[in-house]
A and B are shown apart, each in its own frame.
Chain A
Amino acid sequence: MKTNRVITILFFLLLVLIPLDFFLIFKVAPTEKVMGDVQRIFYLHVSIASGALLAFTGVFLSSILFLWTKKIAWDIAACTSAEIGVLLSTLVLITGSIWARPVWNVWWTWDPRLLTTLILWFIYVGYFLLRSGIADKFRKAQYSAVIGIIGFIDIPIVRYATKWWKSIHPLLTQNGGGLNPVMKKVMLFSITTFVVITIFLFFFRFRLARIEERLQILKKKMED
């Protein structure tokens, strides 16, 4: 199966990327003057966030393709990337609040980006709630595709609205504006690493979803 090959390739790629990423973050990147070492959570937080955004983009595209082609495979792809999106956005929220604690000694900051992730998290948990509530496979796929599209289109609007609403973050977090060149390179590297991790997770889960599908079909053959 071609997905197996992709999974193995990505696996070996990650064997190289992840240690390198750790080395860069903890050894190469300079310590931030104001926040000290804890600022290094920033690399992790932002790269997971990009992974989550990639996953939700995946849901958006697969949902459109499902509505276009009506092939169940796209629905499986959408549902898989939604699952990974929820996993990653949960981690973004956790790392976000762990980072906020030492820096602003508050567990939750109403920062526009964090707020957007929280709202996205709600929508895609709702995505799975909806899926579990509908029996017919085709109708379930069709309705969740609608949520997959609306959820994604909501991101810019919520970002825009919350950015106006309030932002207590210092300038530093204006998407890496305050980072010096070395930090920016390390940031870029860890974002790419996490993008590869997200793709690896996707194919890994996608393979499992396809086998689950085959099990369903075989179980039915057993009954006839």
Chain B
Amino acid sequence: MKFMGHAISILRKDILLEIRGRESLSLMLFLSLLLLVIFNFALDIDIDNVSSLASGILWVIFVFSGILGMGRTSMAERDEEAYLSIVFSPVSAESFYIGKVLSNLLFLLIMECFTLLFFAILFDFEKIISLLPQLLPALFLGTLGFSLVGTLFSFLTSASRYGEVLLPFLYLPVVVPVILGGVTSMDIILNDKVGGADKWIQLLAVFDVLYFAISLILFRYIIEE
């Protein structure tokens, strides 16, 4: 299927770009580690409050580290107007968008796994690793939501002079439902609270489907001048 073929080649290009340029992933990992250390001082985490604070801290790190990473990748596209070689090619706007969503999703997931690992090590909280299978659906759907909205907005804001400042300003309000869904469902699973996590996971799924549909339609207008 040509459609996915183009998306995959864009994904491969982004992976190669990351290996060569080492721009966004290393930045994201560095920021996650730094934020973990800062949270440790700020919230004075110890054995008994770590599990209740875990989901909040982790998702704040996912959000901000993610914003930085996606901002960087879209800068690479805008640099030397490299994205024009994709626009002037048989690649449709939709598969261009899906390719970028997949590559952002991949980098975000890598960052998140490392962050979970750092968290488990720094605050010796193995529980988060052992519970990973239950956490995975919410983690994946939330990250997908971040990537869907982030790809659209990072491409949009990188065209304006205030690119770096504007992205969080527009991106954060829109992904509030994803943050809510992610934090609550992880909190419920980690602290096995009552009140099913699946309600929140459904919300994430609805969010993803909705924003996938809208962004697919609107992305074309962003790459046209």
Give residues in A with beta carbon < 8 Å to B: 67, 119-120, 122-123, 125-126, 129-130, 132-134, 136, 138-139, 142-143, 145-147, 149-151, 153-154, 157-158, 160-162, 164-165
Contact = CB atoms under 8 A, between A and B. Distances in A.
Interface of B: 152, 156-157, 159-163, 165-166, 169-170, 172-174, 176-177, 180-181, 184, 199-200, 203, 206-207, 210, 214, 218, 221-222, 224-225
Contacts of B176: 119, 158, 161-162
A129 B180 contact: no
Contact of B180 (A120, A143, A161): A161
B101 to A, nearest CB: 15
B177 A158 contact: yes
A137 to B, nearest CB: 12
Contacts, number: 88
Contacts of B203: 160-161, 164
Secondary structure of the A side of the interface? helix
Considering residues A143, A153, A158, which has the most beta carbons from chain B within 10 angstroms of its beta carbon? Answer: A143
A142 B177 contact: no
Contacts of A149: 214, 218
B218 A139 contact: no
A113 to B, nearest CB: 14
Nearest to B165: A129
Contacts of A142: 221-222, 224
A143 B160 contact: yes
Contacts of B221: 67, 142-143, 145-146
